[in-house]
Structure 1
Amino acid sequence: MHKIDSSTATPEGLFTIGDPVGGTPATVVTDDWLNAVQTEIVNVVEAAGMPLEKPNNAQLLAAIQALIPPPLPAWRTGDFKLTMQPTPEDGWIVCDDGSIGSEDSSATNKRSAECETLFKLLWNGVSNTYAPVVGGRGASAADDWTANKSIGLTKMLGRALAVAGNGSGLSLRGIAQTVGAETHVLSNGEMPAHTHANTLSDPGHSHANTINDPGHVHANTLSDPGHVHSMGYQFGGTSGGGAAGQAGVFYSTPNNTAAAATGISINNASKATGVTLNNAGASSGVSISNASQGGDAAHNNMQPTVFLYAHIKL
């Protein structure tokens, strides 16, 4: 690109209509200048990916709009940005887990009338758990501001950022809510199932036995129905009687006595012996030793992380 540089152009490279009275000619437009201008315009249109269209007299404007992104919307109170800059720009403050308030407040981060809009945004949008008001919350954000109370900024230092809401399959998370821990010690219920190496030791053992026999008797019942024997006799005598050989005397002589069962029976009543066997208690001596595992130390919960400064708009 260059300015018009024909012999009839002004020394500054400008056009003139000339002055016939004074003898100054009008500027002659040269072909090289017109071609330069045309090339510059064509380059812009083609850079936007547009084909040249002869009847379209708005192509240059469309090309410029396509090549230049629209301006970013203005930052609003509560907007948040990450940066490498440790010092915030005007109208911003560092997120330092401190507090903000009016000039007469006890705020630790910033005490200024500039903080009023952010103060009210935090008061109305974040619970007192995560944006506590010193001295407790009153009837409204306006009342607490007028009372020169300070409000805590949401906790951000050293923390990962996530999006508030109820993601599919996830827990509901409120705005400015803080959760998690940098380290964690597993509870028994959180440990995976596992086994330990065991050592069993059995030295063997014996028991001392004591036998106790108090002795015992049985109650007997004797049954005797009585009995008789059958006996045979021989009879003889004399007609004279008196002694043997005398007439008129009879005599008998036993011959046979038949055998007969007596019928006697003895019944023994049943009786517990009373014998007891006592085993003296004895330690088995068996022991099982479980090999210990682990050290009860907390494990690191942190994901790979990079840390930057965070600023929030007043």
Structure 2
Amino acid sequence: MTAVPAPISGLPRFKHGQVQYGAKAYVFEAGTTTPKLTYKDPTFSQEHTHPVAVDGEGNFPAIYIGEGNYDIRIVDGAGAVIGALNQLQGAVTEETEPPPDPEDVDATKLHQTGDMKIRYDSGVLQGWVRANGRSIGSSSSGASERANADSQALFLHLWAKDPNLTVLPSRGVSAAADWAANKTIALPDFRGRALVGLDDMGNTAAGLLTGVTFTSGSATTLGAKAGASTVTLTTAQIPGHTHTATSASAGGHNHTVTGTTNTTGNHSHTYTRPPGELDHPAGTNAGFETRGHNTTANTGTDGAHAHSVSGSTNTTGAHTHSINVEPAGGGEAHNNLQPSFLVSVYIKL
């Protein structure tokens, strides 16, 4: 008969968040108020008193129950019920059965050499090795992950399934010969990588890995490595877009001009005299001459001088000015990893 501890064994009892140091547990035959024997040990050699009280720290001691179902009522120091558990199963009678014959076990239901599994662990595991890119081999091989005779089956399996796995010092004519020569073979390396199914797996390629960068192998190669942890976008990969910009329009306007001309020094200006203008011969007071045609003459000289200038430019109307939009961005690579949870990958010896 297998002893079953009561579910309150070794636990404190709380009420409104406070430990009940005076708590007691009454154990009854299921569905009755008939007390049921309880024991301090799984061999049923020491009986508890009824009810069973918590210890000085507010914890119930170990409570073992005999055969048959039972109920528990828990009360505080004042006798008020603060908990109840009903129809709990007591000890069960063990049935003696012969151990299964190993030859009766279906081998297909067991792990086979080369099987892989995920485990929340990072250490070694009996019967398995970590798929970490280190090596396996015989006890004389000096392999870095496992050097033991129990690695032979996996050595032969990997040698046959993946010709790209490194065999040191070199790959020979057969897996058996390399094992006998105490060579090592590298394990598949899943460090920092996600698992992705082969694109074909015995079928035609699905084409779902088209355009993916492969650092080794291809979409239909067992053990191929693909993808990158960071990516720098090319110009062709950036979504098409435009930048718009205009300068402010000032409306129709002109500009006022003020200032002076340059000084050109002492000079005169030629001008044309109309017909009929009278002229005195040079240096005389008589002999006026009437001219019947245009003649030219020079103005007097006034020395070096400048002329003031004022006015405004023409009005050109509302207009804008062309501007340049400067490029932005640094072109750095961005992280390409999806939200992930890290575990260890093991492969069966």
TM-score (norm 1): 0.45
Which structure shows the bigger proportion of residues in helix conformation? 1
Larger radius of gyration: 1
Higher relative contact order (CA closer than 8 Å, sequence separation 6+): 1
